[in-house]
Amino acid sequence: MPLNIAFEVLLAIIELLRLSIITVIPCFVIALGAEQLHSRISKRFSLSWAKSALISTYLAVTLLIIFLYSIPGYLGWAESPLTGKPIPAELQPTALDIAALLLFAIVKILLTALIYSILLLPFIFFATYVLEKLREREKPFPQLVNKFIAVFAAVLLAWIILLFVFPFSAGGLLYLLYWS
């Protein structure tokens, strides 16, 4: 019986690491782009590290949400009049309907990005802490490897918090993205 529990815990840890490895790749690519944006913002506007980190995170999250928010619209294009299924005249949107929908979507995307950026800021602080500790090593890794390890540590911490501390929040985060 104890061996079975130990084996299940080992499998859970392996799955957590696998999930983190799968997630860290797109997060690392986004972090590299946001780091470039962060350095440009901090140099141009002479802001503090925290302010420029929040702004660069906000811009990166906004672009990511626009991409994720447009996927269902792109998939719904298959049912559009361009593919041969005409929309009945009484269901066709007017120009005012389209303008109102676009305005509400932009406001929703901007507010959602602000909420996600504030939620991501502690993980950015943690990744920066890990990156600084890796730079202080006697035999440091190459800079890109240090950044990857820091992002991996932040992603792993995020998954641990999401899955073990606040497991009920996963549905809320997904709801906030698409249906709020």
Reference 23, options 148, 144, 167; nearest CA is 148
CA 175 – CA 171 distance, rounded (Å)? 6
* Percentage of residues in the chain having pLDDT higher than 90: 58
Q: How many distinct structural domains can be found in the chain? A: 1
CA 146 – CA 168 distance, rounded (Å)? 32
pLDDT at residue number 124: 95
What is 33-52 written as a DSSP string?
A: HHHHHHHHHHHHH---HHHH
* Percentage of residues in the chain having pLDDT higher than 70: 92
CA 42 – CA 55 distance, rounded (Å)? 10
Mean pLDDT of 144-151: 94
3-class SS at 118? helix
Q: Is the pLDDT of residue 10 over 80?
A: yes
Per-residue pLDDT tens over the stretch 58-82: 999 999 999 988 887 777 766 665 6
Per-residue pLDDT tens over the stretch 82-132: 655 667 777 788 889 889 988 999 999 999 999 999 999 999 999 999 999
More confident residue, 72 or 53: 53
Helix, strand, coil share (%) of the chain residues, nearest 5: 85, 0, 15
CA 53 – CA 123 distance, rounded (Å)? 11
Mean pLDDT of 171-177: 89
pLDDT at residue number 146: 93
Query: pTM value?
Result: 0.83
Q: What range defines the domain where residue 172 resides?
A: 2-178
CA 73 – CA 76 distance, rounded (Å)? 5
Mean pLDDT of 156-162: 94
pLDDT, mean over the chain: 88
